[in-house]
Amino acid sequence: MTLDDAMRCIDAGVKGIAVSNHGGRRQDHTAGTAEVLPAIAAKLKGKIPILTDGCVATGSDILKYLALGADVVMVKPAGSYLDILRTVADSVDVPVWAYQVSGEYSMVEAAAAAGWIDRDRAILETLTGIRRAGASTVLTYWATEVAGWLREGR
């Protein structure tokens, strides 16, 4: 994401933006999150929430992103980084989101398809673990399905 991208989002009426840029890994030769966040925050801070994710092997980048203007931080992959998620949630005063990445989703789906696990129970267990580790919000490929379950009282 660039400042121009962020401004186009505002013009389109978005309620918030995520400055990710692959956690700064530059897989597509874009600028890293820490490079673009100051300009985006300077222009948009207070107008819409700014979410970041980053290199969370230690969580130090999250603190840097908060100092640069992020309103929300995200830890990913959620299931593999439950310890980091807990540390971040205990260390910051902003919402902490967790992204259950496609690999985590695929492992559960593959194991369920092979008959090794109860799919629905495994889904709920993974999401419960992520929430218990400190996520205020979980982004998951099962969001719509699980929302239906919760409305049904499951």
Q: What is the CA radius of gyration of the chain?
A: 17
1-72 maps to CATH 3.20.20.70: yes
* Domain residue ranges of the chain, discontinuous segments joined by +: 1-72, 76-154
> Is the per-residue pLDDT at 55 higher than 70?
no
**Per-residue pLDDT reduced to its tens digit, 76-103:** 889 988 998 898 899 888 999 999 999 9
pLDDT digits 0-9 by tens, 117-134: 999 999 999 999 999 999
Strand partners, 52: 19, 73
Q: Is the pLDDT of residue 62 over 70?
A: yes
Cβ atoms within 10 Å, residue 25: 12
DSSP letter, residue 27: T
| Greatest pairwise CA separation for the chain in angstroms | 51
Find the angle CA(87)-CA(90)-CA(91) to the nearest 5 degrees.
85
Q: State the Cα–Cα distance between residues 58 and 64, nearest whole angstrom.
A: 12
The whole-model pTM stands at: 0.75
Q: Which two tokens stand for residue 72?
A: 């929300």
